Amino acid sequence: MRTLLRQDGMTVIEVLIAAIIFMAGFSTLILLMNSTLIKFSAREILQADNLAEEVMAKSLADQDTTSTDSVFEVAGVAYRVTRNVGIEPDLAGISVTVYRAKQSRKIVKLYDAFVIHK
């Protein structure tokens, strides 16, 4: 303590400045590492996943081979859902992509397929 007193309070200021620099740097680093984090909230990811899963499950169950582009609203948030179907011999490949309608940013993309029985 005696040694610190001899510093005439310099350390407090240094600590404050160092902390501010550290926090600013750390925040920037976090934002750089996870730019998606500010794009979509966990709630949006969850809602988009559920929406994609629902559309995919229905497409597989109905064996629906039509491509669609529609907008769904879940708890006040609008999502654009596209379903693209690629037909191969005996097989229909389905791609379901969910975007946030406001920004047209892709949140999730699923691919599955079903057999076309003749």
Interface residue list for another protein (CB under 8 A): 1, 4-5, 7-13, 15-16, 19, 23, 26, 30, 34, 37, 42, 45-46, 49, 52-53, 56, 84, 86, 88-91, 93, 95, 108-118
Q: Give the phi and the psi of residue 113 in degrees, each rounded to 5.
A: -150, 155
Nearest approach in angstroms of CB 22 to another protein is 8
Nearest approach in angstroms of CB 71 to another protein is 21
How many CA atoms does the CB half-sphere of 60 hold within 13 Å? 14
Nearest approach in angstroms of CB 32 to another protein is 13
Helices (H), the chain: 2-5, 10-33, 35-39, 42-62
**Tokens standing for residue 96:** 């379901």
Q: Which is nearer to another protein, 34 or 70 (CB)?
A: 34
**Tokens standing for residue 1:** 């303590």
Contact 96, 55 (CB under 8 A): yes
Nearest approach in angstroms of CB 102 to another protein is 20
Q: Which is nearer to another protein, 93 or 105 (CB)?
A: 93
Nearest to 99 by CA among 66, 64, 63, 74: 74
Q: Which is nearer to another protein, 5 or 75 (CB)?
A: 5
Q: Which is nearer to another protein, 32 or 117 (CB)?
A: 117
